[in-house]
Amino acid sequence: MSTFKFAVGLTFLFATAVHAEGPGLGQPVSANEIPFYATYVMPDGRGLPEGGGTAAEGAEIYAAQCTSCHGETGTEGPVMPPVWPNELWPKSVGKHWPYATTLFDYIRRAMPLNDPKSLSDDEVYALAAFILARNGIIDEGLAMTAKTLPTVEMPNRDNFIDVWATQGEKPW
């Protein structure tokens, strides 16, 4: 057996052993050590936290946290009004997001702009309920929770290209 074949074989065996067991660096983290903003909310609701909120609760939070950027009613801005129709932004929540869970995930990670990630899960559910109700997507009395939010049918859902899908199958 040549030295080259021996070296290739030994390299293959070593690489397989290292790959199977891992490099032995670091230590696994527990679920409670991962910050919420480092987790993803999937369209089917995986990753959604416990909690819930209604449009009425969301209206109060919106008035306190959101009006300076999105306007008193959500239609006037100056920054991307979340309620449609409006004259400033042609894409509303109903046309901009393919899934209501994406709306939740965005609010939770990025809002309010001056203090992102500061809202509780219940506040985010309430704001999502408020925005969805103001857009006429859900009934105002429907509470948004980890069970109800993924069932919301966004009006423009079928006009998006699903980059996650492969051969017509969704990974969720």
Nearest to 123 by CA among 52, 35, 34, 32: 52
Bridge partners of 169, per DSSP, are: 166
Domains of the chain: 35-159 (1.10.760.10)
The sign of the torsion formed by the CA atoms of 88, 90, 47, 24 equals: negative
Question: In terms of pTM, does the model score above 0.85?
Answer: no
- CA–CA distance, 75 with 118 (Å, rounded to integer): 24
Q: Tell me the β-bridge partners of 145.
A: 52
Model confidence at 94, pLDDT cuts 50, 70, 90, reads low
pLDDT above 90 coverage of the chain, percent: 49
Looking at every residue in the chain, the average pLDDT score rounds to 82
Burial 121-140 (b: 16+ CB within 10 A, else e): bbbbbbbbbbbbbbbebbee
Mean pLDDT of 121-132: 97
Residue 168 has pLDDT above 80, yes or no: no
Taking the mean position of all CA atoms in its chain, how far away is CA 50? 15
Q: Specify the DSSP class assigned to residue 49.
A: P
